[in-house]
Amino acid sequence: MGLAPQDLQFADLMGRLATDAGPELLAAAALCSRATGEGHLCLDLEAFAGREIAGVALPGIGGWRERLRGSGVVGEPGSFHPLILDPAGRLYLYRYWAYESHLAEELVWRAGQPPEDIGPEHRSLLQQLFPAREGVKVDWQKLAAATALCRNLTVVSGGPGTGKTSTVVRILALLTARAPELRIALAAPTGKAAGRLEASVRMAREALPLDREQRQRIPGEASTLHRLLGAEWGGGGYRYHGGSQLPLDVLILDEASMVDVAMMAHLVEALPRRARLILLGDRFQLASVEAGAVLGDLCGDADGFSHPFRERLRAVTGEKVPASPRPHPPPLADSVVYLRHSYRFSEASGVGRLAQAVRDGDAAASLTLLNAQDGPELGRLDDDRLLSGAVAGFRDYLSLVRGGEDPLRVFAAFDRFRVLAAMRRGRRGVEGLNHRLEQALLEAGLLQSREGWYQGRPVMVLQNDYGLRLYNGDIGIVLGGDGPGARVCFPDGEAGLRWIPPSRLPPHETAFVMTVHKSQGSEFDRVLLVLPQEDRPLLTRELIYTAVTRARERFQVCAPDAVWAAAVERRTRRSSGLREALWGPPVSA
Protein backbone atom coordinates (compact mmCIF):
# COMPACT_ATOMS: atom_id res chain seq x y z
CA MET A 1 0.00 0.00 0.00
CA GLY A 2 1.60 3.26 -1.14
CA LEU A 3 1.61 6.34 1.02
CA ALA A 4 2.56 9.67 -0.55
CA PRO A 5 5.13 11.99 1.05
CA GLN A 6 2.37 14.37 2.16
CA ASP A 7 0.60 11.51 3.95
CA LEU A 8 3.75 10.66 5.90
CA GLN A 9 4.39 14.33 6.64
CA PHE A 10 0.87 14.73 8.02
CA ALA A 11 1.34 11.65 10.20
CA ASP A 12 4.61 13.08 11.48
CA LEU A 13 2.87 16.36 12.34
CA MET A 14 0.13 14.52 14.26
CA GLY A 15 2.82 12.56 16.09
CA ARG A 16 4.53 15.76 17.20
CA LEU A 17 1.24 17.35 18.32
CA ALA A 18 -0.09 14.28 20.13
CA THR A 19 0.21 13.64 23.84
CA ASP A 20 0.32 9.90 23.14
CA ALA A 21 1.77 9.24 19.69
CA GLY A 22 1.69 5.50 19.20
CA PRO A 23 2.06 3.76 15.84
CA GLU A 24 -1.71 3.29 15.69
CA LEU A 25 -2.16 7.09 15.53
CA LEU A 26 0.57 7.58 12.94
CA ALA A 27 -0.92 4.87 10.71
CA ALA A 28 -4.45 6.29 11.09
CA ALA A 29 -3.29 9.83 10.28
CA ALA A 30 -1.37 8.72 7.18
CA LEU A 31 -4.28 6.58 5.96
CA CYS A 32 -6.77 9.39 6.57
CA SER A 33 -4.64 11.81 4.56
CA ARG A 34 -4.34 9.26 1.76
CA ALA A 35 -8.09 8.59 1.78
CA THR A 36 -8.88 12.29 1.36
CA GLY A 37 -6.43 12.52 -1.54
CA GLU A 38 -8.27 9.62 -3.20
CA GLY A 39 -11.62 11.42 -2.98
CA HIS A 40 -12.99 9.97 0.26
CA LEU A 41 -14.31 12.31 2.93
CA CYS A 42 -13.08 10.07 5.72
CA LEU A 43 -11.22 6.89 6.59
CA ASP A 44 -13.37 3.88 7.45
CA LEU A 45 -11.39 2.37 10.33
CA GLU A 46 -13.28 -0.92 10.07
CA ALA A 47 -11.72 -1.56 6.64
CA PHE A 48 -8.20 -1.49 8.10
CA ALA A 49 -8.61 -2.71 11.68
CA GLY A 50 -6.65 -5.85 12.46
CA ARG A 51 -4.46 -5.53 9.36
CA GLU A 52 -0.77 -4.81 8.97
CA ILE A 53 -0.17 -1.46 7.24
CA ALA A 54 3.33 -0.21 6.42
CA GLY A 55 4.82 -2.57 8.98
CA VAL A 56 2.35 -1.59 11.72
CA ALA A 57 0.06 -4.30 13.12
CA LEU A 58 -3.18 -2.43 13.74
CA PRO A 59 -5.43 -3.46 16.64
CA GLY A 60 -9.08 -4.46 16.35
CA ILE A 61 -11.63 -1.72 15.83
CA GLY A 62 -12.48 -1.28 19.53
CA GLY A 63 -8.90 -1.02 20.69
CA TRP A 64 -7.94 1.24 17.80
CA ARG A 65 -10.71 3.69 18.62
CA GLU A 66 -9.70 3.86 22.25
CA ARG A 67 -6.04 4.53 21.44
CA LEU A 68 -6.97 7.26 18.95
CA ARG A 69 -9.29 8.96 21.45
CA GLY A 70 -6.46 9.05 23.98
CA SER A 71 -3.93 10.58 21.59
CA GLY A 72 -4.86 14.22 22.22
CA VAL A 73 -5.32 15.03 18.51
CA VAL A 74 -8.50 13.03 17.85
CA GLY A 75 -11.82 14.42 19.03
CA GLU A 76 -15.53 13.68 18.86
CA PRO A 77 -17.87 15.41 16.36
CA GLY A 78 -18.37 19.00 17.49
CA SER A 79 -14.96 19.31 19.13
CA PHE A 80 -12.03 21.20 17.67
CA HIS A 81 -9.23 18.72 16.99
CA PRO A 82 -7.09 18.03 13.92
CA LEU A 83 -8.86 14.67 13.49
CA ILE A 84 -12.50 13.81 14.21
CA LEU A 85 -13.70 10.28 14.97
CA ASP A 86 -17.46 9.72 14.76
CA PRO A 87 -19.42 6.92 16.51
CA ALA A 88 -19.51 4.85 13.29
CA GLY A 89 -15.71 4.61 13.20
CA ARG A 90 -15.19 7.20 10.46
CA LEU A 91 -12.02 9.26 10.92
CA TYR A 92 -12.00 12.72 9.31
CA LEU A 93 -9.58 15.54 8.83
CA TYR A 94 -11.33 18.32 10.77
CA ARG A 95 -11.87 20.42 7.65
CA TYR A 96 -13.76 17.68 5.84
CA TRP A 97 -15.85 16.80 8.88
CA ALA A 98 -16.84 20.47 9.09
CA TYR A 99 -17.74 20.61 5.38
CA GLU A 100 -19.81 17.44 5.61
CA SER A 101 -21.66 18.29 8.80
CA HIS A 102 -22.48 21.85 7.70
CA LEU A 103 -23.64 20.70 4.28
CA ALA A 104 -25.81 17.96 5.77
CA GLU A 105 -27.38 20.39 8.25
CA GLU A 106 -28.28 22.88 5.51
CA LEU A 107 -29.64 20.29 3.08
CA VAL A 108 -31.72 18.55 5.75
CA TRP A 109 -33.17 21.92 6.80
CA ARG A 110 -34.07 22.78 3.20
CA ALA A 111 -35.62 19.36 2.56
CA GLY A 112 -37.64 19.64 5.77
CA GLN A 113 -39.42 22.89 4.91
CA PRO A 114 -43.18 22.46 4.35
CA PRO A 115 -44.18 22.47 0.67
CA GLU A 116 -45.85 25.53 -0.81
CA ASP A 117 -49.26 25.44 -2.47
CA ILE A 118 -49.61 25.68 -6.24
CA GLY A 119 -52.57 27.88 -7.25
CA PRO A 120 -55.06 27.06 -10.03
CA GLU A 121 -53.48 29.49 -12.50
CA HIS A 122 -50.09 27.85 -12.14
CA ARG A 123 -51.60 24.39 -12.38
CA SER A 124 -53.03 25.49 -15.73
CA LEU A 125 -49.62 26.75 -16.88
CA LEU A 126 -48.04 23.49 -15.71
CA GLN A 127 -50.42 21.56 -17.97
CA GLN A 128 -49.70 23.95 -20.84
CA LEU A 129 -45.93 23.51 -20.50
CA PHE A 130 -46.13 19.73 -20.03
CA PRO A 131 -48.90 18.46 -22.34
CA ALA A 132 -49.61 14.74 -22.47
CA ARG A 133 -47.16 12.82 -24.68
CA GLU A 134 -47.89 9.57 -26.41
CA GLY A 135 -45.95 6.61 -25.07
CA VAL A 136 -44.93 8.38 -21.83
CA LYS A 137 -46.55 6.59 -18.89
CA VAL A 138 -45.33 8.97 -16.20
CA ASP A 139 -44.16 12.50 -17.06
CA TRP A 140 -41.23 12.77 -14.70
CA GLN A 141 -40.38 16.19 -16.10
CA LYS A 142 -43.78 17.49 -14.98
CA LEU A 143 -43.28 15.91 -11.56
CA ALA A 144 -39.85 17.56 -11.27
CA ALA A 145 -41.34 20.94 -12.17
CA ALA A 146 -44.17 20.59 -9.67
CA THR A 147 -41.67 19.55 -7.00
CA ALA A 148 -39.52 22.60 -7.69
CA LEU A 149 -42.57 24.87 -7.38
CA CYS A 150 -43.36 23.38 -3.96
CA ARG A 151 -40.01 22.90 -2.34
CA ASN A 152 -36.99 24.83 -1.10
CA LEU A 153 -34.64 22.10 -2.38
CA THR A 154 -35.10 20.05 -5.55
CA VAL A 155 -32.65 17.52 -6.99
CA VAL A 156 -33.29 16.47 -10.59
CA SER A 157 -31.14 13.57 -11.78
CA GLY A 158 -31.31 12.02 -15.21
CA GLY A 159 -29.23 10.45 -17.93
CA PRO A 160 -28.47 11.88 -21.37
CA GLY A 161 -31.47 13.14 -23.29
CA THR A 162 -33.91 12.89 -20.39
CA GLY A 163 -34.64 16.61 -20.62
CA LYS A 164 -33.00 18.14 -17.56
CA THR A 165 -32.44 21.49 -19.30
CA SER A 166 -35.87 21.69 -20.92
CA THR A 167 -37.39 20.82 -17.52
CA VAL A 168 -35.51 23.56 -15.72
CA VAL A 169 -36.49 26.15 -18.36
CA ARG A 170 -40.13 25.27 -17.75
CA ILE A 171 -39.54 25.45 -14.00
CA LEU A 172 -38.21 28.98 -14.50
CA ALA A 173 -41.24 29.86 -16.63
CA LEU A 174 -43.53 28.73 -13.81
CA LEU A 175 -41.56 30.54 -11.11
CA THR A 176 -41.35 33.82 -13.05
CA ALA A 177 -45.05 33.64 -13.87
CA ARG A 178 -45.75 33.53 -10.14
CA ALA A 179 -43.16 36.21 -9.24
CA PRO A 180 -41.73 38.13 -12.25
CA GLU A 181 -39.14 39.98 -10.18
CA LEU A 182 -37.34 36.88 -8.90
CA ARG A 183 -33.56 37.15 -8.76
CA ILE A 184 -32.35 34.00 -10.51
CA ALA A 185 -28.87 32.65 -11.24
CA LEU A 186 -27.78 29.78 -13.47
CA ALA A 187 -24.42 28.18 -12.65
CA ALA A 188 -22.19 25.22 -13.46
CA PRO A 189 -18.85 23.99 -12.09
CA THR A 190 -16.75 24.83 -15.18
CA GLY A 191 -16.69 27.44 -17.91
CA LYS A 192 -17.42 24.82 -20.54
CA ALA A 193 -20.43 23.49 -18.62
CA ALA A 194 -21.70 27.02 -17.97
CA GLY A 195 -21.43 27.87 -21.66
CA ARG A 196 -23.33 24.74 -22.62
CA LEU A 197 -26.02 25.43 -20.00
CA GLU A 198 -26.38 28.98 -21.29
CA ALA A 199 -26.78 27.87 -24.91
CA SER A 200 -29.21 25.09 -24.00
CA VAL A 201 -31.40 27.36 -21.85
CA ARG A 202 -31.61 30.01 -24.57
CA MET A 203 -32.58 27.44 -27.18
CA ALA A 204 -35.17 25.78 -24.94
CA ARG A 205 -36.54 29.17 -23.87
CA GLU A 206 -37.34 30.14 -27.45
CA ALA A 207 -39.24 26.87 -27.98
CA LEU A 208 -41.66 27.47 -25.09
CA PRO A 209 -45.37 27.94 -25.97
CA LEU A 210 -45.36 31.37 -24.33
CA ASP A 211 -45.40 34.95 -25.54
CA ARG A 212 -42.18 36.91 -25.94
CA GLU A 213 -42.54 38.81 -22.67
CA GLN A 214 -42.96 35.60 -20.69
CA ARG A 215 -39.92 34.03 -22.38
CA GLN A 216 -37.74 37.07 -21.75
CA ARG A 217 -38.28 36.77 -18.00
CA ILE A 218 -36.26 33.58 -18.06
CA PRO A 219 -32.53 34.38 -17.65
CA GLY A 220 -30.20 33.22 -20.39
CA GLU A 221 -26.82 33.85 -18.74
CA ALA A 222 -24.87 31.28 -16.73
CA SER A 223 -21.67 31.57 -14.74
CA THR A 224 -19.14 29.28 -13.14
CA LEU A 225 -19.50 28.62 -9.43
CA HIS A 226 -16.24 30.43 -8.75
CA ARG A 227 -17.49 33.52 -10.57
CA LEU A 228 -20.91 33.32 -8.89
CA LEU A 229 -19.36 33.18 -5.42
CA GLY A 230 -16.86 35.91 -6.25
CA ALA A 231 -13.66 33.91 -5.90
CA GLU A 232 -10.81 36.21 -4.92
CA TRP A 233 -7.50 36.20 -6.75
CA GLY A 234 -4.81 34.06 -5.20
CA GLY A 235 -7.25 31.68 -3.50
CA GLY A 236 -8.14 34.18 -0.78
CA GLY A 237 -11.73 33.00 -0.32
CA TYR A 238 -15.04 34.20 -1.73
CA ARG A 239 -16.86 37.51 -1.79
CA TYR A 240 -20.11 35.75 -0.87
CA HIS A 241 -20.31 33.59 2.25
CA GLY A 242 -22.41 33.10 5.36
CA GLY A 243 -21.88 36.68 6.50
CA SER A 244 -22.49 38.23 3.07
CA GLN A 245 -24.90 36.06 1.13
CA LEU A 246 -25.81 35.96 -2.53
CA PRO A 247 -28.62 38.35 -3.54
CA LEU A 248 -30.71 35.53 -5.03
CA ASP A 249 -34.17 34.02 -4.82
CA VAL A 250 -33.46 30.99 -7.04
CA LEU A 251 -30.23 29.18 -7.89
CA ILE A 252 -30.03 26.53 -10.62
CA LEU A 253 -26.84 24.45 -10.51
CA ASP A 254 -26.15 22.16 -13.48
CA GLU A 255 -23.66 19.26 -13.59
CA ALA A 256 -23.91 18.89 -9.82
CA SER A 257 -22.05 15.56 -9.90
CA MET A 258 -18.86 17.53 -10.58
CA VAL A 259 -19.14 19.59 -7.38
CA ASP A 260 -17.04 18.43 -4.43
CA VAL A 261 -18.07 18.67 -0.79
CA ALA A 262 -16.00 21.79 -0.07
CA MET A 263 -17.49 23.80 -2.94
CA MET A 264 -21.03 22.61 -2.19
CA ALA A 265 -20.60 23.57 1.47
CA HIS A 266 -19.40 27.04 0.44
CA LEU A 267 -22.37 27.34 -1.93
CA VAL A 268 -25.12 26.47 0.55
CA GLU A 269 -23.51 28.74 3.15
CA ALA A 270 -23.58 31.66 0.70
CA LEU A 271 -27.17 31.01 -0.45
CA PRO A 272 -29.92 32.52 1.73
CA ARG A 273 -32.19 29.90 3.26
CA ARG A 274 -35.25 31.55 1.71
CA ALA A 275 -33.78 31.02 -1.78
CA ARG A 276 -34.71 27.91 -3.77
CA LEU A 277 -31.87 25.57 -4.66
CA ILE A 278 -32.37 23.36 -7.72
CA LEU A 279 -29.61 20.86 -8.52
CA LEU A 280 -29.33 19.12 -11.90
CA GLY A 281 -27.06 16.23 -12.80
CA ASP A 282 -26.62 12.55 -13.51
CA ARG A 283 -25.97 10.55 -10.37
CA PHE A 284 -24.35 7.73 -12.36
CA GLN A 285 -21.57 9.94 -13.74
CA LEU A 286 -18.11 10.34 -12.30
CA ALA A 287 -17.97 11.98 -8.91
CA SER A 288 -16.02 15.20 -8.39
CA VAL A 289 -12.25 15.24 -8.81
CA GLU A 290 -11.86 16.51 -5.24
CA ALA A 291 -13.25 14.81 -2.14
CA GLY A 292 -16.86 13.69 -1.91
CA ALA A 293 -19.67 12.31 -4.04
CA VAL A 294 -22.31 14.86 -3.11
CA LEU A 295 -24.89 14.24 -5.85
CA GLY A 296 -24.66 10.48 -5.38
CA ASP A 297 -25.17 10.87 -1.63
CA LEU A 298 -28.08 13.26 -2.18
CA CYS A 299 -29.83 10.83 -4.52
CA GLY A 300 -28.66 7.80 -2.56
CA ASP A 301 -31.80 6.12 -1.24
CA ALA A 302 -34.51 7.93 -3.23
CA ASP A 303 -37.20 5.35 -4.00
CA GLY A 304 -40.42 7.35 -4.13
CA PHE A 305 -42.26 10.17 -2.36
CA SER A 306 -43.90 10.22 1.05
CA HIS A 307 -47.64 9.50 1.00
CA PRO A 308 -48.73 13.12 1.75
CA PHE A 309 -46.45 14.61 -0.91
CA ARG A 310 -47.40 11.91 -3.38
CA GLU A 311 -51.07 12.87 -3.01
CA ARG A 312 -50.22 16.55 -3.40
CA LEU A 313 -48.30 15.90 -6.63
CA ARG A 314 -51.03 13.67 -8.00
CA ALA A 315 -53.64 16.37 -7.41
CA VAL A 316 -51.48 19.02 -9.08
CA THR A 317 -50.15 17.04 -12.06
CA GLY A 318 -52.63 14.21 -12.65
CA GLU A 319 -49.67 11.84 -12.92
CA LYS A 320 -49.39 8.37 -11.41
CA VAL A 321 -46.90 9.19 -8.70
CA PRO A 322 -44.91 6.38 -7.03
CA ALA A 323 -44.80 6.27 -3.26
CA SER A 324 -41.81 5.22 -1.20
CA PRO A 325 -42.06 1.63 0.08
CA ARG A 326 -40.91 2.94 3.45
CA PRO A 327 -43.74 3.99 5.77
CA HIS A 328 -41.86 7.08 6.98
CA PRO A 329 -39.21 8.15 4.44
CA PRO A 330 -36.91 11.02 5.39
CA PRO A 331 -37.81 14.53 4.17
CA LEU A 332 -35.21 14.37 1.38
CA ALA A 333 -37.33 11.71 -0.37
CA ASP A 334 -39.75 14.47 -1.40
CA SER A 335 -36.98 16.59 -2.95
CA VAL A 336 -35.39 14.07 -5.36
CA VAL A 337 -36.79 13.32 -8.83
CA TYR A 338 -35.15 10.94 -11.26
CA LEU A 339 -35.93 11.48 -14.97
CA ARG A 340 -36.29 8.07 -16.55
CA HIS A 341 -37.39 8.59 -20.16
CA SER A 342 -34.73 9.45 -22.76
CA TYR A 343 -35.94 11.66 -25.59
CA ARG A 344 -32.56 11.47 -27.34
CA PHE A 345 -32.13 7.73 -27.60
CA SER A 346 -34.82 5.35 -28.78
CA GLU A 347 -35.13 1.87 -27.30
CA ALA A 348 -33.16 0.61 -30.31
CA SER A 349 -30.37 3.18 -29.98
CA GLY A 350 -26.94 1.59 -29.71
CA VAL A 351 -25.46 4.41 -27.62
CA GLY A 352 -28.49 4.48 -25.31
CA ARG A 353 -28.49 0.70 -24.81
CA LEU A 354 -24.74 0.71 -24.15
CA ALA A 355 -25.09 3.48 -21.57
CA GLN A 356 -27.81 1.50 -19.80
CA ALA A 357 -25.77 -1.72 -19.79
CA VAL A 358 -22.77 0.11 -18.34
CA ARG A 359 -24.91 1.91 -15.77
CA ASP A 360 -26.32 -1.44 -14.65
CA GLY A 361 -22.84 -2.99 -14.43
CA ASP A 362 -23.64 -5.58 -17.12
CA ALA A 363 -20.21 -6.09 -18.67
CA ALA A 364 -21.33 -9.02 -20.84
CA ALA A 365 -24.24 -7.12 -22.38
CA SER A 366 -22.07 -4.06 -23.02
CA LEU A 367 -19.42 -6.16 -24.79
CA THR A 368 -22.10 -7.89 -26.86
CA LEU A 369 -23.31 -4.50 -28.06
CA LEU A 370 -19.79 -3.30 -28.86
CA ASN A 371 -18.77 -6.49 -30.61
CA ALA A 372 -21.96 -7.00 -32.61
CA GLN A 373 -20.76 -4.93 -35.55
CA ASP A 374 -18.90 -1.78 -36.48
CA GLY A 375 -22.14 0.07 -37.17
CA PRO A 376 -23.25 3.70 -37.33
CA GLU A 377 -23.56 4.09 -33.54
CA LEU A 378 -21.04 1.76 -31.89
CA GLY A 379 -17.61 0.52 -32.90
CA ARG A 380 -14.29 -0.93 -31.80
CA LEU A 381 -10.85 0.17 -32.96
CA ASP A 382 -7.72 -1.94 -32.54
CA ASP A 383 -4.31 -0.37 -31.94
CA ASP A 384 -3.47 -0.39 -35.66
CA ARG A 385 -6.52 1.74 -36.49
CA LEU A 386 -6.50 4.01 -33.44
CA LEU A 387 -4.56 6.94 -34.91
CA SER A 388 -6.16 6.73 -38.36
CA GLY A 389 -9.60 6.76 -36.71
CA ALA A 390 -8.68 9.85 -34.71
CA VAL A 391 -7.24 11.59 -37.79
CA ALA A 392 -10.50 10.95 -39.66
CA GLY A 393 -12.46 12.49 -36.78
CA PHE A 394 -10.45 15.73 -36.83
CA ARG A 395 -10.19 16.06 -40.62
CA ASP A 396 -13.20 18.36 -41.09
CA TYR A 397 -12.21 20.97 -38.52
CA LEU A 398 -8.57 21.11 -39.63
CA SER A 399 -9.68 21.50 -43.26
CA LEU A 400 -11.73 24.52 -42.19
CA VAL A 401 -8.69 25.94 -40.36
CA ARG A 402 -6.53 25.58 -43.49
CA GLY A 403 -9.27 27.20 -45.57
CA GLY A 404 -9.40 30.25 -43.29
CA GLU A 405 -13.07 29.68 -42.47
CA ASP A 406 -15.04 31.59 -39.84
CA PRO A 407 -13.79 30.69 -36.32
CA LEU A 408 -17.30 29.82 -35.14
CA ARG A 409 -17.55 27.20 -37.90
CA VAL A 410 -14.14 25.88 -36.86
CA PHE A 411 -15.26 25.48 -33.24
CA ALA A 412 -18.52 23.81 -34.28
CA ALA A 413 -16.56 21.30 -36.37
CA PHE A 414 -14.00 20.71 -33.60
CA ASP A 415 -16.74 20.00 -31.07
CA ARG A 416 -18.27 17.29 -33.21
CA PHE A 417 -15.52 14.79 -32.33
CA ARG A 418 -13.28 14.14 -29.35
CA VAL A 419 -10.77 11.55 -28.19
CA LEU A 420 -11.06 10.71 -24.49
CA ALA A 421 -8.52 8.93 -22.31
CA ALA A 422 -8.75 7.49 -18.82
CA MET A 423 -5.24 8.50 -17.78
CA ARG A 424 -3.01 11.51 -18.16
CA ARG A 425 0.34 9.79 -18.57
CA GLY A 426 1.63 6.92 -20.64
CA ARG A 427 1.41 5.95 -24.29
CA ARG A 428 -2.38 5.61 -24.05
CA GLY A 429 -2.86 8.59 -21.77
CA VAL A 430 -3.58 12.22 -22.69
CA GLU A 431 0.06 13.26 -22.99
CA GLY A 432 1.20 10.28 -25.07
CA LEU A 433 -1.86 10.28 -27.33
CA ASN A 434 -1.67 14.03 -27.98
CA HIS A 435 1.97 13.64 -29.02
CA ARG A 436 1.28 10.66 -31.29
CA LEU A 437 -1.83 12.23 -32.79
CA GLU A 438 -0.02 15.47 -33.64
CA GLN A 439 2.53 13.44 -35.60
CA ALA A 440 -0.21 11.47 -37.38
CA LEU A 441 -2.04 14.67 -38.34
CA LEU A 442 1.20 16.15 -39.64
CA GLU A 443 1.85 13.06 -41.77
CA ALA A 444 -1.72 13.23 -43.09
CA GLY A 445 -1.10 16.80 -44.28
CA LEU A 446 -3.67 18.30 -41.89
CA LEU A 447 -1.05 20.19 -39.86
CA GLN A 448 1.77 22.32 -41.24
CA SER A 449 3.79 21.90 -38.05
CA ARG A 450 3.58 20.28 -34.65
CA GLU A 451 5.94 22.71 -32.95
CA GLY A 452 4.89 25.71 -30.86
CA TRP A 453 1.78 27.70 -31.68
CA TYR A 454 0.81 26.12 -34.99
CA GLN A 455 -2.46 26.87 -36.77
CA GLY A 456 -5.36 24.74 -35.57
CA ARG A 457 -3.74 23.68 -32.29
CA PRO A 458 -6.48 23.15 -29.67
CA VAL A 459 -5.46 24.34 -26.21
CA MET A 460 -7.11 23.54 -22.89
CA VAL A 461 -6.76 25.88 -19.92
CA LEU A 462 -5.69 24.03 -16.75
CA GLN A 463 -6.00 26.79 -14.16
CA ASN A 464 -8.51 29.57 -13.57
CA ASP A 465 -7.44 33.09 -14.52
CA TYR A 466 -10.13 35.46 -13.31
CA GLY A 467 -8.46 38.47 -14.88
CA LEU A 468 -8.65 36.94 -18.36
CA ARG A 469 -11.99 35.26 -17.61
CA LEU A 470 -10.47 31.91 -18.56
CA TYR A 471 -11.37 28.88 -16.48
CA ASN A 472 -10.10 25.37 -15.95
CA GLY A 473 -11.40 23.27 -18.86
CA ASP A 474 -11.92 26.12 -21.34
CA ILE A 475 -10.69 25.25 -24.84
CA GLY A 476 -9.33 27.65 -27.45
CA ILE A 477 -7.85 27.12 -30.91
CA VAL A 478 -4.80 28.83 -32.40
CA LEU A 479 -6.01 30.82 -35.41
CA GLY A 480 -4.96 33.81 -37.46
CA GLY A 481 -1.24 33.14 -37.86
CA ASP A 482 1.74 31.05 -36.78
CA GLY A 483 4.68 31.97 -34.59
CA PRO A 484 4.88 35.40 -32.96
CA GLY A 485 1.61 36.53 -34.56
CA ALA A 486 -0.40 33.60 -33.23
CA ARG A 487 -3.49 34.21 -31.13
CA VAL A 488 -5.60 31.70 -29.27
CA CYS A 489 -9.28 32.13 -30.02
CA PHE A 490 -11.88 31.31 -27.32
CA PRO A 491 -15.68 31.28 -27.72
CA ASP A 492 -17.30 33.92 -25.52
CA GLY A 493 -21.05 33.35 -25.50
CA GLU A 494 -23.07 36.21 -26.98
CA ALA A 495 -19.93 38.31 -27.21
CA GLY A 496 -18.70 35.96 -29.93
CA LEU A 497 -14.94 35.41 -29.70
CA ARG A 498 -11.95 36.51 -27.67
CA TRP A 499 -8.35 36.46 -28.90
CA ILE A 500 -5.61 35.91 -26.30
CA PRO A 501 -1.85 36.08 -26.95
CA PRO A 502 -0.21 32.75 -26.04
CA SER A 503 2.16 34.49 -23.64
CA ARG A 504 -0.77 35.53 -21.43
CA LEU A 505 -2.37 32.12 -21.11
CA PRO A 506 -2.48 30.41 -17.71
CA PRO A 507 -1.14 26.82 -17.55
CA HIS A 508 -2.49 24.86 -20.52
CA GLU A 509 -1.99 21.82 -22.73
CA THR A 510 -2.76 20.58 -26.24
CA ALA A 511 -6.31 19.20 -26.35
CA PHE A 512 -6.82 16.83 -29.24
CA VAL A 513 -7.22 14.32 -26.41
CA MET A 514 -8.73 15.04 -22.99
CA THR A 515 -9.42 12.99 -19.89
CA VAL A 516 -12.90 11.67 -19.26
CA HIS A 517 -13.02 13.84 -16.14
CA LYS A 518 -12.35 16.97 -18.20
CA SER A 519 -15.06 16.01 -20.68
CA GLN A 520 -17.82 16.31 -18.09
CA GLY A 521 -20.21 19.10 -18.98
CA SER A 522 -19.52 18.59 -22.71
CA GLU A 523 -21.14 16.54 -25.45
CA PHE A 524 -19.88 15.57 -28.90
CA ASP A 525 -21.45 13.93 -31.92
CA ARG A 526 -18.73 11.26 -31.93
CA VAL A 527 -16.48 10.02 -29.15
CA LEU A 528 -13.46 7.73 -29.23
CA LEU A 529 -12.45 6.35 -25.82
CA VAL A 530 -8.95 4.93 -25.30
CA LEU A 531 -8.29 2.71 -22.28
CA PRO A 532 -4.93 1.28 -21.12
CA GLN A 533 -3.90 -2.22 -22.11
CA GLU A 534 -3.99 -3.41 -18.49
CA ASP A 535 -6.62 -2.96 -15.79
CA ARG A 536 -6.15 -0.07 -13.35
CA PRO A 537 -8.11 0.85 -10.18
CA LEU A 538 -9.11 4.20 -11.69
CA LEU A 539 -11.06 2.41 -14.44
CA THR A 540 -14.59 2.32 -13.06
CA ARG A 541 -18.19 1.95 -14.16
CA GLU A 542 -18.76 5.66 -13.60
CA LEU A 543 -15.80 6.59 -15.82
CA ILE A 544 -17.01 4.37 -18.67
CA TYR A 545 -20.61 5.61 -18.31
CA THR A 546 -19.46 9.23 -18.38
CA ALA A 547 -17.44 8.60 -21.55
CA VAL A 548 -20.30 6.80 -23.32
CA THR A 549 -22.81 9.51 -22.45
CA ARG A 550 -20.62 12.23 -23.95
CA ALA A 551 -21.58 10.81 -27.38
CA ARG A 552 -24.73 12.02 -29.10
CA GLU A 553 -24.47 9.85 -32.22
CA ARG A 554 -21.51 7.46 -32.24
CA PHE A 555 -19.24 5.88 -29.63
CA GLN A 556 -16.05 3.95 -30.34
CA VAL A 557 -13.58 2.38 -27.94
CA CYS A 558 -10.02 1.10 -28.18
CA ALA A 559 -9.54 -1.32 -25.30
CA PRO A 560 -9.08 -5.03 -24.55
CA ASP A 561 -12.27 -6.87 -23.62
CA ALA A 562 -10.92 -7.80 -20.18
CA VAL A 563 -10.04 -4.20 -19.32
CA TRP A 564 -13.46 -2.93 -20.44
CA ALA A 565 -15.29 -5.65 -18.50
CA ALA A 566 -13.31 -5.07 -15.30
CA ALA A 567 -14.04 -1.36 -15.47
CA VAL A 568 -17.78 -1.83 -16.01
CA GLU A 569 -17.95 -4.18 -13.01
CA ARG A 570 -15.98 -1.87 -10.67
CA ARG A 571 -18.02 0.80 -8.89
CA THR A 572 -16.59 3.94 -7.36
CA ARG A 573 -17.09 3.86 -3.60
CA ARG A 574 -16.20 6.92 -1.57
CA SER A 575 -16.23 6.76 2.21
CA SER A 576 -18.51 9.41 3.63
CA GLY A 577 -21.04 10.02 6.37
CA LEU A 578 -23.09 12.39 4.21
CA ARG A 579 -25.54 9.82 2.86
CA GLU A 580 -26.34 8.56 6.37
CA ALA A 581 -26.71 12.14 7.63
CA LEU A 582 -29.21 12.87 4.84
CA TRP A 583 -31.12 9.59 4.70
CA GLY A 584 -30.56 7.97 8.07
CA PRO A 585 -28.98 4.55 8.72
CA PRO A 586 -29.12 2.06 5.84
CA VAL A 587 -32.42 0.19 5.63
CA SER A 588 -32.00 -3.56 6.06
CA ALA A 589 -33.20 -5.66 3.15
Amino acid sitting at position 276: R
Query: Residue 378: CB partners within 8 Å, gap ≥ 6?
Result: 350, 351, 354, 369, 370, 372, 554, 555, 556
Phi, psi at 54, each rounded to 5°: 50, 40
- Beta strands 276-281 and 524-530, pairing class: unpaired
3-state SS, residue 316: helix
Tell me the HSE value of 482 on the side-chain side, using a 13 A CA sphere.
Answer: 11
Q: How many residues does the chain have?
A: 589
CB 31 within 8 A of CB 14: no
Q: Is 164 annotated as a binding residue?
A: yes
Instruction: Find out whether 158 is annotated in a ligand binding site.
Output: yes
Q: What angle is formed at CA 291 by the lines to CA 357 and CA 543, rounded to 5 degrees? A: 20
> Within 10 Å of residue 471's Cβ, how many Cβ atoms?
24
CA distance 469 to 574: 33
Q: Taking CA 484 as the corner, what is the angle to CA 482 and CA 485, rounded to the nearest 5 degrees? A: 65
β-strand pairing of 417-421 with 250-253: unpaired
User: Is 163 annotated as ligand-binding?
Assistant: yes
Report the b/e string of 146-174 with b at 16+ CB within 10 A: bbbbbbbbbbbbbbbbbbbbbbbbbbbbb
DSSP state of 238: B
CB 250 within 8 A of CB 182: yes
What one-letter code names the amino acid at 66?
E
> Residues 45, 65: contact at Cβ < 8 Å?
yes
At 29, the amino acid letter reads A
* Residue whose C-alpha is closest to residue 68's, from 54, 84, 48: 84
Helix runs in 338-467, H state only: 350-359, 363-372, 383-402, 407-414, 430-443
161 marked among binding-site residues = yes
Distance (Å) of CA 339 to CA 145, 148, 342, 456, 551: 11, 14, 8, 39, 19
| Residue 165 assigned ligand-binding role | yes
159 assigned ligand-binding residue: yes
Query: What are φ and ψ of residue 98, in 5° steps?
Result: -65, -45
Which residue positions form the known binding site?
Answer: 158-165
Which residue positions form the known binding site for ATP?
Answer: 158-165
